[in-house]
A and B are shown apart, each in its own frame.
Chain A
Amino acid sequence: MFSIPHRRDFLRTAGGGIGAMALQSLLTRESSAEEGLGSSQGTHHPPRAKRMIWLFMHGGPSQVDLFDPKPDLLRFAGKPLPDSFGEVMTRRKVARNPLLAPIKPFRPRGQSGLEVSDFLPHIAEHADDLCVIRSLHGDSVNHPQSVYQMNTGSILMGHPSVGSWLAYGLGSDNQDMPAFVVLPDPGGGLKGGPAAWGSGYLPATYQGTTMRAGKAPVLNLQPQDGISDAQQRSTLDFLRKMNERHWMARDRDDELSARIDAYELAFRMQAAAPEVVDLTDETAETISLYGIDDPVTRDFGERCLLARRMVERGVRFVQVYSGNTNGWDAHSNVAKNHGEYCAKTDKPVAALLKDLKRSGLLEDTLVVWCGEFGRMPMSEQGKGRDHNPWGYCGWIAGAGIRGGRAHGETDAIGLRAANDRVHVNEFHATLLHLMGLDHRKLTFLHNGLDERLTGPSEVDVVQELIS
C-alpha cells in the first residue's frame, strides 16, 4: 500500500542489540553516499580534500616560539622594539616593552630542513608533511573577535562558521552522523562561546554538533533513567503508527516524512555515536601512539583519535579545540604556558598525522592547525607575550599539500606578516578550494546580500599553498 522509506530499519534499530545492526546500516549508508546521495549541493570542482580536521589552539599559540624562527629576536632580546616598526596596536599596551627571545631553540627537521621549535619534538618529526603559513594575519587584538574571524571570516558575531558552510555546501557523507562535529576542550570556556561553531544565518541544520568522549557523546542520545529499550521500542512503534496515519492524511507531505525520517536517523545515531566514541576496538599500539595511556596527553589524544574515527565514518568536518578559557593565552609566562599545552598536544597531533598517513586517509583529508592569532615578539610581564593578530603561523597538511616548507614571512622579529601575506579570508578561500568549493559561489541570500564565508571584499585563493 504505502511505505515510508527505511521503515524496517527503523524497527530493527530501535531497540535492543542495536549496535551490530546499526553498524550494518551505517555501512550500507556509507556505500550509498559514495554514489553521491550524501551531498546536498556538491562541489564546484574536483576536491583535493574530502574531509577536514581542524586543530584549534585556543588562546593564541606563539609563532615565534613554535614555527617561525627569528634569529634577530634572539639578538635584540631585552631591547625595546626599534622605532622603525612604527606604532603597534596591542591588547595590553606592550608596544614599548623589551623584546623577548624565543623560549626554546629551533632546529631544521626532516629532509626538508623546515625549522620547528624544541617545544614540539613530535610534530617536528612530521615537518616534511607540513606547509607552515608564516604570514597569516587578522584584524583584531581581542580573543572573541579573532575566534569569530578565524571560524566565520568576520570579527562580528552571527556569521556561519567554516564547518557550517561546508555542511551547507557538501552535506554529509554519513546520514547517521552530523556533517560538522566539534570536540570542545572539556575545560570549556571558549572565548566567544558556541557562536564560533554556530550556523549564523544558515539554517540550524548546519550548526556544529558538539560531541564528547564517554557514554553520552551527544546530548539526549540515550533515554532517561527508567526508560528501558523495550519501553522505548514500543513507544516508537506507537509513534510511527500515529505519524504514518497523520502523513497519509496530508498528501504524504515531504516535511512530515522528513521528520519521520529524522526519528530513524536519531536512532541510527543512537547506535552510531557511541560506536564512534568507543575506543575499545583500537589497538594498544594506537592508544599509546596518541598518548591516551598518559594522563598528560590523554584528553587531547582521545579527541584526536575521535577525530580520526569520525572522518573515517564520513563526518565532513571535525574541529578539535585545545585550551580552556585561558588556553594558549600566555600573557605572563610563555615557557610555562606553552610548556604545558605543547606537552598536552604535541604527541597526539603527531599521532594523528601518522595514523592518517598509514591508513591512507591523509591523501584526501586536510589537517589544519592554528589558533585565533599569534603572540607579540615583545614581552609582557617579563616572560609572557600579548596577542598578535598582525602576523602569525598556522599549518596545513594532507590532501596532497606539498609539505616541508614555509609559505610567507613575517618581518625580522615576527611582529607583522611581511611577505606573501595570507589574510584569514584568503586562508578560508583556500580551504574551501581544497574541499572543492569556490568561495565566490558558495553563497546564501541573507537580508538582501549574497553572504559568503570570505566576506564582501574580493579575496583570492592562495595558489602557492595548494601547488
Chain B
Amino acid sequence: MIVSLSSLRPLVLLTMLGSCLVGIVDAQEAYEEIPIDKVDRGHWAYQPITEPRVPSVKDVRWPQSNIDRFILNKIEQTELTPAARADRLTLIRRAYFDLIGLPPTPEQLNTFVADERPDAFRRVVDQLLASPQYGRRWGQYWLDLARFAETDGFEHDKVRPTAWRYRDWVIDALSADMPYDEFVTMQLAGDIVRPDDADAQVATSFCLSGPDMPDINSMEERKHVLMNEVTSTVGSVLLSLQVGCAQCHDHKFDPISQADFYRLRAFFEGSVKLSRNQSITTLAHGADRDAEAKFYVRGDYRRPADVLSPAFPRIANTAGRMLGAEHAGEERSQLASWITDGDNPLTARSIVNRVWQFHFGTGLVATPSDFGIVGEEPTHPELLDFLAARLMSGDWSLKRLHREILLSATYQTQSRPDASVAEDEQESRSSWSRRLRFDPENRLLSRFPRRRLDAESIRDAMFAASETLNHEAGGRGVMPPLPQEMVQTLLKGQWKASEVTADHYRRSIYIFARRNLRYPLFATFDRPAANCSCAVRHPSTTPIQSLLLLNSKITLDASHRLAARVIEEVDEDQQRAVATFSRVLSRYPTREEIDDTVSFLEDQRRILATEGHKDVHRAAITNLARALFNSNAFLYVD
C-alpha cells in the first residue's frame, strides 16, 4: 500500500493489522513501509523479559550464586566440569584489574592473603566497588561506546574545550552507581528532565561526542550526517540495534525500516542547532525551532521527502506506546522513558550483556551492539534474562550486578590447569584438556578466560607499580610528551605536552582524547579511534607493541622509578626480586624465579660495570623491571 503524503501532512500513521504502514512518495520513487510480521516478532531479542526459573544442577556444592546454576546447568549437559577455584593471588589480581584497572599493591596483596575470614574476597570486591578508581576504569568502557573524544576530527580537529566535562560526568555517575535508567535518561534528555542542572545538560554530550566537521561547505549536509550518526549511536549503544543500517534503505535483515530510522532521528531534530565553524557538544531543547524532521530518500540529504513525527522503533515497541501531542517539548525524555521502561525488551538485556562482556571478555551475546538477526544468539538466554530482570528489580544498580558476578563461582575459576595441588594429577590434566577440546572458545565458561590488559591498564599499571601514578581526578585532558620523531610530523599546536610533569602521570582516562591523534601507546594497544561507537576492542599482537614496551621512554621511566623504590626498601638481591615481582606481577616469585633473577641481576651489574655505569644496582633493577613489564605474566590477567 502506498500513501501519498503530499495530501497527508503532517505524517499520518495508519495503524493496520497492528503495524504501521507509512508511504512516502518522492518525485522519483515510492517508499512503502513493510509491516512487521510474526516471524520478526518471534526473534529472541524482542521477547518480553521475565525472570526465568533458576535451573537445578547435579553438583549442588559448586554454585555460590544463581549465576552459577545457569552456567553449571549448561556445563553439565556436556561432559565437562568447571575448573577449580583460582588461588588467592590470582583472584585478587583479577578483581583489581577488572574493577579498577590497577594492580593491588604489595600491602594489599599481603593483607588479602593473610585475611582468613571466609568473606575476605567479598570484602575486597566491596572495597574496589567503593573505590574512586572504579569509575576511572569502567568509565572508559562507556566512553568507547560513546565514541568520546575531545576534538571534532576531520581537517581541523578543533578542540571541544568543554568535552572533558562529559568524561567526568560518566566517571562520577558510574562511581556513584547512578541507576542505569537514570544514566540513560540523563544522556538522552538531561536538559529536559533537570533544566536547572548544568551537569544534566553535560550528560547529553553522549549524543554529540562523535566526529563532526563544522567547516563543511553545506550545513545541511553536516546536520544530516550528524543527526544520522546520533541516531545510529543511540540505537546501537542503548538498544543494541543497528538502526544505522536503515538510513538509506530498510534494514536488510532486521525489521527496522527506513521510516523507523527517521522517526527515531526525529526525537533529536529540534535539539541540535549548528553554526558554521562552531563545534557542538550538548543537546539543547528547542535549539532549532524551525527544524523539521524528514524522511530522506536513499539517505541523501539533498532528497528530503515528507515530514515525520517522532515515534519509537516499531519492533521494540512491544507495549505499543505512542507519543501524543501532550508530550510536545519533551520528546527526548519520552524516548528515555520508553527506552528505560520495564517493558522494553532490549535495554536491560543490552547493558547486562555489556557488563558481562567487560568481566569475561565475551558477552552472553557475542555481538553486544547487535541483537538483530545477523547478531549472535545468546549462549545462555535464561541467564541473560535473569540478570536483566534482576537489574530492573534491583533499581538498575550496576554495582550490584558487578558484585553478583564477582562473587559467583563462575568468576572465580582458574584460567589454567592446576599445576600442583590436584590429588589426582592425571585426572585433573585430562579434564582440563577436555575443556580446551570441547569448548575452545570457552563459551560455556568452564574456566576463566585469560585476557590481555588493555592499553590504559598497561600504562596505569606501570605507573602504579612504580608508585608514580598521579591520582588527581577530573578536569581538562592532559598531554604527556610524545616521542620527538613524532612531534616533528605534527601540526603546530596539535599536541602540546602538559607543562606540569605530574600531569604526565595522570590516569590514562585523563589523557587528552584527540580524535586525529591517539596517544601512541593507546593506538598500538587497540584503543579504538573514537570515530564510531566501539563495543568490543579486538586485542592484537604485533611487533610494534613489543618495540614500544621494550624501548619506549615510558617503560624505561617507570622501570627506573620502580628501581629507586626497590633499592630504598631492600638491599639484597633475593629480597629485591620479591619486591619487584610483587609490585609488577602482584605475586611472589617462585624459588626458580628468584634464582634466575639473582643471576640476572649479577649478570646485569657485570655488564653495567664494564660500561662504566655509575649506579649499577639501580640500573640492573631497572632492566629487571623492564623485562617484567614486557612479560606475559604482566600483560595477561589469569
B375 contact set on A, CB distance < 8 A: 448
B489 and A186 contacting across the interface, CB-CB below 8 Å: yes
| Interface size grouping (class) on chain B | 35 or more
A246 contact set on B, CB distance < 8 A: 631-633
B632 contact set on A, CB distance < 8 A: 242-243, 246-247, 256, 259-260
Give a binary string over B524-554; 1 marks a CB under 8 Å from any A CB, 0 the rest.
1110010111010010111111111011110
Q: Separation in Å of the B193 CB from the closest CB of chain A?
A: 29
Question: B529's contact among A141, A200, A449, by CB below 8 Å, is which?
Answer: A200
B187 touches A (CB below 8 Å): no
B34 touches A (CB below 8 Å): no
A337 touches B (CB below 8 Å): no
Q: Which of A216-241 contact B (CB under 8 A)?
A: 216, 218-224, 226-228, 230-232, 234-236, 238-239, 241
Q: Separation in Å of the B492 CB from the closest CB of chain A?
A: 9
Q: Which of A265-284 contact B (CB under 8 A)?
A: 265-266, 269-270
Give a binary string over B591-621; 1 marks a CB under 8 Å from any A CB, 0 the rest.
0110011001001100110110100000100
B542 and A251 contacting across the interface, CB-CB below 8 Å: no
A241 and B546 contacting across the interface, CB-CB below 8 Å: no
A223 and B242 contacting across the interface, CB-CB below 8 Å: no
B211 and A250 contacting across the interface, CB-CB below 8 Å: no
Q: Separation in Å of the B506 CB from the closest CB of chain A?
A: 22
Q: How far is the CA of A51 from the CA of B624 in the complex (A)?
A: 42
The residue in B253, B516, B517, B619 that gathers the most chain A C-beta atoms within 10 A of its C-beta is: B516
B452 contact set on A, CB distance < 8 A: 255
A195 contact set on B, CB distance < 8 A: 153, 515-516, 529, 531
A142 and B213 contacting across the interface, CB-CB below 8 Å: yes
Question: B248's contact among A158, A247, A456, by CB below 8 Å, is which?
Answer: A456
A188 and B488 contacting across the interface, CB-CB below 8 Å: yes
B438 contact set on A, CB distance < 8 A: none
A201 touches B (CB below 8 Å): yes
B242 contact set on A, CB distance < 8 A: 447-449
A104 touches B (CB below 8 Å): no
B436 contact set on A, CB distance < 8 A: 251
A204 contact set on B, CB distance < 8 A: 523-526, 538, 540, 542
Give a binary string over A195-211; 1 marks a CB under 8 Å from any B CB, 0 the rest.
10010110111010110
| Interface size grouping (class) on chain A | 35 or more
Q: How far is the CA of A223 from the CA of B626 in the complex (A)?
A: 12
Given A219-B547, A234-B604, A238-B596: A258 touches B488 (CB 8 Å cut-off): no
A459 contact set on B, CB distance < 8 A: none
Question: A231's contact among B547, B548, B604, by CB below 8 Å, is which?
Answer: B604
Question: B546's contact among A223, A230, A262, A325, by CB below 8 Å, is which?
Answer: A262
A142 and B556 contacting across the interface, CB-CB below 8 Å: no
B154 touches A (CB below 8 Å): yes
Q: How far is the CA of A241 from the CA of B632 in the complex (A)?
A: 11
A263 and B486 contacting across the interface, CB-CB below 8 Å: no
A125 touches B (CB below 8 Å): no
A188 contact set on B, CB distance < 8 A: 488-491
Q: How far is the CA of A210 from the CA of B155 in the complex (A)?
A: 19
Q: Separation in Å of the A427 CB from the closest CB of chain B?
A: 21
Q: Considering only CB atoms, which chain A residue lies closest to B611 in the complex?
A: A228
B181 contact set on A, CB distance < 8 A: none
Q: Considering only CB atoms, which chain B residue lies closest to A221 in the complex?
A: B547
B531 and A158 contacting across the interface, CB-CB below 8 Å: yes
A21 touches B (CB below 8 Å): no
Q: Considering only CB atoms, which chain B residue lies closest to A456 in the complex?
A: B248
B633 and A144 contacting across the interface, CB-CB below 8 Å: no
A247 contact set on B, CB distance < 8 A: 632
Given A157-B154, A195-B529, A260-B632: A220 touches B217 (CB 8 Å cut-off): no
Q: Separation in Å of the A159 CB from the closest CB of chain B?
A: 8
B153 and A205 contacting across the interface, CB-CB below 8 Å: no
Question: A447's contact among B157, B236, B604, by CB below 8 Å, is which?
Answer: B236
B372 touches A (CB below 8 Å): yes
Q: How far is the CA of A260 from the CA of B632 in the complex (A)?
A: 8
B626 contact set on A, CB distance < 8 A: 235
B176 touches A (CB below 8 Å): no
Given A157-B531, A158-B529, A205-B540: A251 touches B417 (CB 8 Å cut-off): yes
A253 and B627 contacting across the interface, CB-CB below 8 Å: no
A234 and B547 contacting across the interface, CB-CB below 8 Å: no
Q: How far is the CA of A247 from the CA of B631 in the complex (A)?
A: 11
A192 touches B (CB below 8 Å): yes
A105 touches B (CB below 8 Å): no
Given A192-B155, A239-B630, A247-B632: A178 touches B516 (CB 8 Å cut-off): no
B155 and A144 contacting across the interface, CB-CB below 8 Å: yes
Q: How far is the CA of A447 from the CA of B370 in the complex (A)?
A: 6
Q: How far is the CA of A212 from the CA of B626 in the complex (A)?
A: 27
Q: How far is the CA of A223 from the CA of B548 in the complex (A)?
A: 10
Q: Separation in Å of the A192 CB from the closest CB of chain B?
A: 6
B627 and A239 contacting across the interface, CB-CB below 8 Å: yes
A249 touches B (CB below 8 Å): yes
A224 contact set on B, CB distance < 8 A: 551-553, 556
B217 contact set on A, CB distance < 8 A: 89, 91, 141-142
Give a binary string over A136-175; 1 marks a CB under 8 Å from any B CB, 0 the rest.
0000011111000000000011100000000000000000
Q: Separation in Å of the A11 CB from the closest CB of chain B?
A: 15
Q: How far is the CA of A177 from the CA of B319 in the complex (A)?
A: 57
A243 and B631 contacting across the interface, CB-CB below 8 Å: yes
Q: Considering only CB atoms, which chain A residue lies closest to B628 in the complex?
A: A242
Q: Considering only CB atoms, which chain B residue lies closest to A222 in the complex?
A: B551
Q: Separation in Å of the A15 CB from the closest CB of chain B?
A: 11
A157 and B153 contacting across the interface, CB-CB below 8 Å: yes
A218 and B544 contacting across the interface, CB-CB below 8 Å: yes
A236 contact set on B, CB distance < 8 A: 627
B416 touches A (CB below 8 Å): yes
Given A142-B217, A195-B516, A447-B369: A239 touches B548 (CB 8 Å cut-off): no
Given A141-B217, A186-B489, A220-B483: A249 touches B419 (CB 8 Å cut-off): yes
Q: How far is the CA of A178 from the CA of B242 in the complex (A)?
A: 34
A219 and B631 contacting across the interface, CB-CB below 8 Å: no
B161 touches A (CB below 8 Å): no
B471 touches A (CB below 8 Å): no
A221 contact set on B, CB distance < 8 A: 547, 551
B582 touches A (CB below 8 Å): no
Q: Separation in Å of the A209 CB from the closest CB of chain B?
A: 6
Q: List 16 A-B contacts (CB under 8 A).
A: A89-B217, A142-B216, A144-B213, A158-B529, A194-B516, A195-B531, A210-B489, A219-B520, A238-B596, A238-B597, A251-B416, A253-B450, A259-B632, A262-B546, A266-B543, A448-B370
| For the complex of A and B, 6 pairs with smallest distance between CB atoms | A158-B531, A193-B516, A266-B546, A188-B489, A265-B543, A448-B242
Report which A residues bind B (CB closer than 8 A).
89, 91, 141-145, 156-158, 178, 184, 186, 188-189, 191-195, 198, 200-201, 203-205, 207, 209-210, 212, 216, 218-224, 226-228, 230-232, 234-236, 238-239, 241-243, 245-247, 249-251, 253, 255-256, 258-260, 262-263, 265-266, 269-270, 325, 445, 447-449, 456
